[in-house]
Structures are given as structure tokens and as C-alpha cells.
Amino acid sequence: MSLVAHSLDVIRRFQAPSGAYPASPTFSAYRGYSWLRDGAFIAEGASRHGDVAGADAFHAWSARVVGDRAGQVEALVARAARGEPIPAAEMLPTRFTLDGVAGADAWWDFQLDGYGTWLWALREHAARHGTAPAGVEKGVRTAARYLSAFWHRPCYDWWEEHLEQRHVATLGAVHAGLRAAAALGVLSASESAAAGEAVAGIAGLVAREGVTPEGHLRKWLGGDAVDASLLACVEPFGLYPAGHPVGAATVAEVERRLARDGGVYRYLADTFYGGGRWPLLSGLLGWNHARAGRRVEAARYLGWMAAQATPEGDLPEQVAGPLLAPERRREWLERWGPVATPLLWSHGMYLILADELGVTS
């Protein structure tokens, strides 16, 4: 079986009856939970390869999960308008059980990017197949309301780290999500206006504080580090398109600092499982190369991803070597066991890059 076919099979086989995609069906810390961020990219891969029903089910599940929290969002917005401090623990969850509830396990749980990424993926799916799943309007409006009100707040990044910072990749996801929400045509006039103000605010803030003197994006506002998640601000989120000098410089700088032999590290100070290279990030870098017309480079990253599959065809979250911090690997093995395999996000990213390159088998 080809890795395209196996990836589709993994995604379909483990999708819950609710429509949720589990991050990993076997990994101790992820089992039984779905992230909007991971799921959005998984759904995008499935949508591109014709699994319309599966992607529809995920988007419908996401809309229900978010829409069910409309009252919570309105209460949070009202509290913010009164100037009340709102602890991060009282914001919307980052991950949900497969049935759509918050779950009882402690987590680093205030992340905005997943809500924006879901809106972006829903819009892509709807445009590709002609319509959005029925009943998503309440979820879209709730997510847009939440992001429009709180986009400026510090929160955890893609990697559940640094709650105190405002992360440029998160801002890029929110920017894309609010544009997508407006394009879906379900927002009221006031909601559209608020989303437009937030989009403009994000663009201005990143231009002022999120770009280094060298012309590439920063990991967080005011910092000096580079993170592979910044690639998403170019493709697919389009905060700075591939042809823009900042977009081009960001892709080049991520590749220069974080790519090695086809694999891509998250960031140079990474210690999670010793800090290995992530196949899904190779997919993201390859996606950027493909959209910029660099198909040979994109194909090299797709080939590296495929080479990381187990004999059964499963793609892991990260690979073991060479590591940035090998002395830190043992503590994670003892805490959570072997690296998550399969990671459905890795398979989703493989499908996306394969589609960009016209690879169907």
C-alpha cells in the first residue's frame, strides 16, 4: 500500500464516530483527545484526497464543540469589556475529548491558534467541494467572536509553551481564521466589522514587532528566536505570501536554521524527547517550497517524510536522531513512553504535500 493510501486509511480508521480526529490513538498523553489545530490539518489532507465525508464530519464536530461554548464566549467578552482580569484557565480549551467535552486531565490549555486554523480549514474545504457542512454557522460565529475579542492576549504556542508571550504563528492563524470566517458569509455586520478590525490589528502589530531587522518573522513579538511554525504564516495562512520579502525571508531563515537532511526541528532550544526533527514540519516546509514553484526542494521533503514511516507505514511525531538535546530524551520516555506513532497530523501533512506535488500513490 502506498503511503498516500495508508495515510488515508489511518485517518479514516481512527476517526471517532463523533467526527473527531484523535491526535494519536495509542500515545499516552494524546489518546482520547482531539486538537482543533491538528484536526484542521488532518481534515485538509483528507479533503484534498477525496474523503469529503470524513472532513465534513470533523468540521461538523468542531462547529458543535465550539458552538456549544457560545454562552461561555459571551460571558468572557462581557468580563473583558468590564476590565475584569480573566485567568488563562478560564478561557476556552485547547483540546477536547472525542465526545467534545473538555476532559479532566490537566493540560496547557489556552491556545488561540487552533480556533483560527479550524476556520481556515473549514473555508478551504467548503471552497474545494462547493459547500460547508450543514449547521456550522453557530460554531463559526462563536469562534470569530472569541478570536476578535482576545487575539491580542498572550497564550501558549503550537507546542504548549510560553504562556507569557504573543506568538507570531498564533497571530498568523488568527488572521487567517478571521478572514476565512468573513468569507464564509455567516457573520453579522457587527461581527464582520470586529473581525476586520482584528485582522488589521494583527497585521499592524506583526509588522511593527514581529519582524526582525533582517526581515524575517520572529518566534514571538520582540524575541530573536525562529520557530518552524512560522512557516504557516506564509503558506497556508498568507499573513505574508510567498512572494512578499518577509515571507520569502522567513522560509529561508527557517530552512537555514532548522532544516537538516530533509527533516525540520521545531526550534533550536527544543528539549521535548531530546529535540528531534518533525515529519509534519518537513511537510509544512515542503508545502511552502511547492507553492513558491520549488518543486524539486518540495519533493525532497516529501521523500524524507516517507522515509520516516515504520515498516507498517505509520508516521511518528518526531524522529530520534540527530537530537538537539539528547540528554533530555530519557525523561520523556519515562514520563509518556515512546514517541507518538502514528501521529495523525503527520499523515495529514504528508497528504497535503503529496497533493501539492500531484503524488497520488
Q: Which residues are catalytic?
A: 157, 160, 317
How do strand 259-260 and strand 95-97 relate by DSSP bridges?
Answer: unpaired
Amino acid at 278: W
User: Residue 100: which H helix or E strand, with range?
Assistant: none
In angstroms, the CA 34 to CA 70 distance is: 19
154: left (phi over 0), alpha (psi -120 to 50) or beta: beta
Residue type present at position 36: L
| Strand-pair partners of 95 | 35
Question: Phi, psi at residue 85, to the nearest 5°?
Answer: -70, 135
Could you say which DSSP state residue 272 is in?
Answer: G
Contacts of 280-284 with C-beta under 8 Å, sequence gap 24+, read: 280/41, 280/317, 280/343, 280/345, 280/346, 280/348, 280/349, 281/228, 281/231, 282/349, 283/346, 283/349, 283/350, 283/352, 283/353, 284/228, 284/231, 284/232, 284/235, 284/349
Q: Which grid cell is 20?
A: 473527531
Which residues contact residue 271 at a Cβ distance below 8 angstroms, ignoring those fewer than 6 apart? 324, 325, 328
CA distance readout (Å), 178 to 55, 148, 159, 304: 20, 8, 22, 34
Residue 172: which of 114, 221, 237, 235 has the closest Cα? Answer: 237
**DSSP per residue, 116-161:** HHHHHHHHHHHHHHSSPPTT-HHHHHHHHHHHHHHTTS----TTS-
Q: Could you give the CA distance from residue 291 to residue 43 in angstroms, rounded to a whole number?
A: 20
Q: Which residues pair with 211 in a beta bridge?
A: 217
Its sign, for the CA torsion 139, 145, 148, 151, is negative
